[in-house]
Amino acid sequence: MSARKNRKDLRMTAAEVIKHARAIEGVSQNKLAVLMSASQPLISAWECGKVTPGIDDIVAIEAALDVERGSLLMAIAYPNNDPNNEPLS
């Protein structure tokens, strides 16, 4: 069995983590797009699992949502590591 996640699983995990983090912070897709200098359709595509965000995108989301550095990356890479499934500190 490979230690690497397949693209679809990674994309869906990222989608769930981003949407959850944004909801916890009470930030709309439009507001996150503005904070990141990105487009709202791109944010939507990430959250629907249509597009896999890059590491630099995840780091930018962490900065925009003012969450602990690396927390979203860890939640995506190791989704079952946190018993509460809470990527934010």
DSSP H helices in the chain: 7-25, 29-36, 40-48, 55-65, 71-77
Candidate CATH numbers 1.10.260.40, 3.30.413.10, 3.40.50.720, 3.20.20.105; the one for domain 7-66: 1.10.260.40
Whole-angstrom CA distances from 52 to 1, 76, 86 are 23, 11, 20
Q: Residue 17 has what pLDDT? A: 93
Whole-angstrom CA distances from 76 to 19, 25, 37, 79 are 12, 18, 22, 5
pLDDT by residue, tens only, the chain of 89 residues: 455 567 777 778 889 999 999 999 999 999 999 999 999 999 999 999 999 899 999 999 999 999 999 999 998 888 876 545 454 54
Kindly report the pTM of this predicted structure. 0.79
Q: Residue 79 has what pLDDT? A: 80
- Please report, for the chain, the start and end positions of each structural domain, with discontinuous segments joined by +: 7-66
Q: Residue 3 has what pLDDT? A: 52
